[in-house]
Structure 1
Amino acid sequence: MTRTEPVDLYFQAMADPYRRGFVERLSKGPASVKELAAPADVQLPAVLKHLRVLEEGGIIVSEKVGRVRTYRIRPDAFNAVNTWIEQRQHDMNAAFDRLAAAMAEVPEEKDH
């Protein structure tokens, strides 16, 4: 069995449009389950399942005060995916730099 990387959990969590919508809403500030469910037009049990996936993906955290559970985005929620993307950009830029260097070494053909 392979180990699941944080970036894998992030992409799995963000693959669903409802979950992306919840993240968009939570990026504006904390919200209760009811506040998240209302505009989504989704039943509460489904909302709770989506929120659990986001929490397991390390994107959100919850806190229960009395009977109200409030969700918010983790401050470091996007670090793993940002690092992964930056590394891919670095690798791609290095490949283009190698290509440009190789092309510069090839003499240009002169028109006859």
Structure 2
Amino acid sequence: MQKSDSLKVDSASLIDLKAELFRKQEEFRAQKLQSQNSGFIKGKHTISTKKSNLSSKKNAGVSQRAKKDYEEKEEEENVFERSRKALENKTKLYEQIARGSGISGK
């Protein structure tokens, strides 16, 4: 660049530039607010076609897996409860045998 090609920038031109930028930003905001329901801005579709990030995407089958895990946990608790009752009955039986009163009911 030569000295004659340089641009002169003064405070008035900077203020004009900032005012124009602000005006364009306000126009964009107004268009965005008007088009939120329609999904379009000046003929362009505004709904993002970008791939969503992994944290906002739900994995397929998560709720089914959670339901299956819950059912398995309930089944394990039921098995545990039945085992506990069977052991309590055995304990009572052994206590009767240890006292020498024999086995009653069989």
Alignment TM-score, normalising by the size of structure 2: 0.35
Higher relative contact order by CA 8 Å / sep ≥ 6: 1 or 2?
1
> Between Structure 1 and Structure 2, which shows a larger proportion of strand residues?
1
